[in-house]
A and B are shown apart, each in its own frame.
Chain A
Amino acid sequence: MTAPTMLDWAVVCPLDLLDPDRGAAALVDGVQVALFRTGGELYAVDNLDPVGGAYVMSRGIVGSRGGVPTLASPLHKQVYDLRTGRCLDLPDVALRRHEVRCRNGLVEVRLRQEG
């Protein structure tokens, strides 16, 4: 087996379109991605709520739990670690993560084709 397939970086939007501490949904290669800008970092996870099954994660509230940057699902408030995607309230539940960076004032995302 080789490492997970990496697609190319896709330019999404200027950084200043992302409000601090508030998510935004983006469509990257047909996949809904939730982008967050919080605590000076950028995070990208799947927009799909793995528990509720709706594409809503970009509308959750970001915050922190014991120093860990977090995202709470707007449907039923399960809290996820934005760095790892791991759900902090339910075992064996996780958000798929994607790579995200800022280049020349533009936010870029590279999908991770895990699993």
Chain B
Amino acid sequence: MKAKVYVTLKNSIADPQGNAIRGALNKKGFSNVEDVRIGKLIEIELGDITKEVAEKQLNEMCEKLLANTVIEKYEFEII
């Protein structure tokens, strides 16, 4: 069982990296780009477990380590 975990800054937190990339894209001619938010993609190989257990584990992993829920939000998909 594999999972992809997406960790991104909460909307209320300014993203200086995203702003820099938005500026670069605008300069490259993509003048329509209004906002860029940068996050992390974490791919996890979970071994042979059920989807229910995987979901439980992933929630725990995100709450405890993968995301800092003061500033970040997370979502995941199980493949």
Q: Do A and B come from one complex?
A: no
| Interface of A toward B, CB cutoff 8 Å | none
